[in-house]
Amino acid sequence: MGGADKGLQNFNGMPLALHTMLRLQPQVGELMINANRNLAAYESFGVPVWPDVLPDFAGPLAGFLTGLERCETPWLVTVPCDTPLFPPDLVARLSAAAQEQDAEIAMASGREEDGELHTQPVFCLLRVELLESLVRFTHDGGRKVDAWTARHRTAIVPFDAAGDDPLAFGNVNTLAQLHQLERR
């Protein structure tokens, strides 16, 4: 996005992060935002905002770690702000799969441009009990979501049923992609 903060870019008249919050809010209890800059702008959305607990913008696992440290429920769900069309039943389906498969993690899987199902590792439901495991993994230098989740019972949840939006997990990385998605 040319150095611009993705979460603050407008999508259908509101910042992507706020759009994400409104889409996620009916699916969960409490919300929080993980952000590393423009904290006051994110705080204006009315939920707690926490920067990464790891230094040097260590990637999605830093956000997972921050969320797990602050979560006050047995489960934490993570979604990125740059994928505004994620399923409105995401959490229910992840939760059902986690329970059915006695999983510690439930991760979405969706179709991508190649027509194949691919895991969507930042769309995750995580047991808060995994905090210690993630602390050890990241302190040992681990940064790959898949490498950490492979250590745990993980349910992969396909979102490819009839009626599922094939673009549900399409993320935007440029303003052009954002505008194209708005026109859809």
Binding residues: 6, 34, 52, 82
> What's 100-150 look like in SS3?
HCCCCEEEEEEECCCCCEEEEEEEEEEEHHHHHHHHHHHHCCCCCHHHHHC
Binding residues for Mg(2+): 82
Distances from the Cα of 23 to the Cαs of 63, 86, 96, 167, 184, in angstroms? 19, 8, 19, 15, 18
Binding residues for GTP: 6, 34, 52, 82
